[in-house]
């Protein structure tokens, strides 16, 4: 718990630091990575270039300080950060480096306003958060039976085109068989290497099939115009360089977005674009379990050409009598898929809400942040309890709902 001496400084400075958060975190990353270039391998250089990573860090630190006495609000945020950290191999030794440069950035941006008492208060707040994360990450590494940063070598046993600019890679152990257990909705880190620049990057990809299969599957979308180090560079490397028989270095499965499959009430899976991948993993797990619960699968995409994993959707529709699939296309909705309902325009949650008891249903969201914010707002406005709505974020998350 934050000390009584530090509390007034944190309360008074959160609004000021929130206002200057982007400048602080940009200064932080610039100076930290300049002093410790080895850490570049842990950070998404595309998100660095766009500023998304800096904004996310600012939101996380300031949200923590603003809610330091509100464990219920912080618990899911801390859990999500822990899984993200474990996926890239964050170690306890990284925290002093981050803390030192973060406090120096606050001091540099605020100048004389960053008094010794204020810096001491933020030092305390940072180490409270760091202590929670270090302990939780240690427990997660122990649970998954792995070490921080340890990757396994997997072989690509199948490659399939799965929609325009999308391909799926099937991964197995060198001796054959599944690389390990996971829960539907989880993701893995995949390492890309560029020998010409002696650089490497890790990116996270949702596992897009059920845990019962004797392989792991990742489904990767090409990013047009992305070079090495930019947003989408690893996806393009996978698309261009990786084929049948190649090997990849891959982490264990992590992620706290794990839909509850054993419940009896309706489950509503809402996605857009490549955000369909953890939803199909969930859907295929429900197929494997022969689930009898009502399932509503809503997905939005630009056109049928961009429709990802369509074979999985048609197979699930044939296997699950209580499944209702609604595909929303901005163009070309008349090109229907067998057994599936297609509509023009963007995802509309209202028909589904009218067909179910919304207080008894579980809702899961995945897709671009604006899409998920709009869907979450629509659900809450319709009376769905916030505790019934979960979302998976690809990339840094803005924790504006806590600030």
pLDDT digits (tens, 9 = 90+) for 65-110: 777 777 777 788 788 889 999 998 999 999 999 999 999 999 999 9
Q: Using CA of residue 120, residue 126, residue 129, residue 135, what is the dihedral sign?
A: negative
Instruction: Give CA–CA dist 393/114, Å, rounded.
Output: 33
* pTM, to two decimals: 0.90
Q: 392: helix, coil or strand?
A: strand
Among residues 64, 95, 126, 328, which one is catalytic? 95
Tokens of 188: 């893995």
How confident is the model at residue 402, as a pLDDT? 41
Angle, CA of 383, 388 and 394, to the nearest 5°: 115
How confident is the model at residue 28, as a pLDDT? 87
Those residues of the chain that have pLDDT short of 50 are 226, 228-229, 396, 398-403
How confident is the model at residue 205, as a pLDDT? 95
Instruction: Give CA–CA dist 364/381, Å, rounded.
Output: 16
How confident is the model at residue 17, as a pLDDT? 78
How confident is the model at residue 108, as a pLDDT? 95
How many angstroms separate the Cα of 168 from the Cα of each of 63, 158, 401? 37, 8, 34
Angle, CA of 209, 234 and 134, to the nearest 5°: 75
Phi and psi for 5 in degrees, rounded to 5?
-70, -35
Question: Is 263 labeled as catalytic in the residue annotation?
Answer: no
Quickly tell me which residue has 């964050």 as its tokens: 90
- Structural domains in the chain, CATH included, are 7-144 (1.10.490.10), 152-250 (2.40.30.10), 267-402 (3.40.50.80)
Question: Is 95 labeled as catalytic in the residue annotation?
Answer: yes
Among residues 29, 64, 126, 137, which one is catalytic? 137
Angle, CA of 94, 99 and 100, to the nearest 5°: 105
How many angstroms separate the Cα of 10 from the Cα of each of 16, 52, 111, 132, 286? 10, 24, 17, 18, 46
Close Cβ partners of 331 (under 8 Å, ≥ 6 residues apart)? 302, 303, 344
How confident is the model at residue 304, as a pLDDT? 87
How confident is the model at residue 399, as a pLDDT? 47
Q: 393: helix, coil or strand?
A: coil
User: 146: how many CB neighbours lie within 10 A of its CB?
Assistant: 18
Angle, CA of 81, 269 and 191, to the nearest 5°: 40
How many angstroms separate the Cα of 388 from the Cα of each of 338, 364, 403? 31, 8, 21
In DSSP terms, 272 is beta-bridged to 300
pLDDT in tens, 33-53: 899 988 887 776 655 555 556
How confident is the model at residue 155, as a pLDDT? 98
Instruction: Give CA–CA dist 159/138, Å, rounded.
Output: 35
Q: 4: helix, coil or strand?
A: coil
Q: Using CA of residue 225, residue 200, residue 395, residue 242, what is the dihedral sign?
A: positive
Q: Virtual CA dihedral for 300, 392, 210, 222, nearest 10 degrees? A: 60
Q: Classify residue 94 as left (phi > 0), alpha (psi -120 to 50) or beta.
A: alpha
H helix runs in 145-231, sequence order: none
How confident is the model at residue 53, as a pLDDT? 62
> 62 with 122: CB under 8 angstroms?
no
């Amino acid at each position: 718990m934050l000390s009584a001496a530090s509390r007034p400084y944190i309360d008074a400075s959160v609004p000021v630091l929130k206002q200057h958060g982007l400048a602080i975190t940009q200064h932080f990353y610039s100076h930290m990575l300049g002093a410790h270039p080895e850490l570049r391998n842990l950070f998404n250089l595309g998100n660095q270039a766009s500023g998304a990573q800096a904004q996310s860090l600012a939101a996380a630190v300031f949200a923590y300080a603003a809610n330091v006495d509100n464990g219920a609000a912080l618990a899911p945020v801390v859990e999500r950060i822990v899984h993200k950290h474990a996926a890239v191999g964050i170690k306890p030794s990284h925290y002093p480096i981050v803390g030192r440069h973060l406090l120096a950035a606050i001091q540099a941006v605020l100048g004389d306003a960053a008094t010794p008492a204020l810096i001491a208060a933020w030092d305390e707040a940072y180490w409270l958060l760091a202590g929670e994360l270090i302990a939780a990450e240690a427990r997660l590494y122990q649970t998954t039976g792995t070490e921080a940063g340890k990757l396994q070598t997997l072989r690509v046993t199948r490659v399939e085109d799965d929609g325009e600019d999308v391909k799926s890679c099937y991964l197995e152990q060198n001796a054959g068989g599944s690389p390990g257990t996971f829960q539907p909705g989880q993701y893995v880190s995949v390492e890309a290497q560029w020998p010409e620049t002696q650089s490497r990057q890790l990116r996270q990809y949702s596992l897009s099939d059920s845990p019962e299969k004797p392989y792991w599957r990742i489904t990767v979308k090409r990013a047009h115009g992305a070079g090495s180090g930019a947003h989408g560079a690893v996806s393009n490397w996978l698309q261009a360089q990786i084929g049948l028989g190649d090997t990849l270095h891959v982490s264990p499965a992590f992620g706290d977005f794990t839909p509850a499959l054993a419940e009896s009430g309706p489950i509503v899976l809402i996605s857009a674009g490549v955000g369909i991948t953890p939803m199909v993993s969930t859907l295929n797990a429900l197929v494997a379990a022969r689930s009898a619960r009502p399932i509503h699968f809503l997905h939005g995409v630009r056109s049928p050409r961009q429709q990802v994993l369509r074979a999985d959707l048609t197979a699930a529709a044939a296997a699950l009598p209580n499944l209702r699939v609604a595909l929303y296309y901005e163009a070309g909705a008349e090109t229907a898929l067998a057994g599936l309902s297609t509509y023009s325009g963007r995802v509309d949650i209202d028909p589904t809400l009218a067909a179910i008891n919304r207080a008894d249903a579980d809702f899961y969201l995945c897709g671009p942040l604006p899409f998920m914010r709009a869907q979450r707002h629509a659900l809450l406005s319709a009376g769905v309890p916030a505790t019934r709505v979960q979302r998976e974020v690809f990339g840094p998350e803005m924790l504006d709902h806590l600030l």
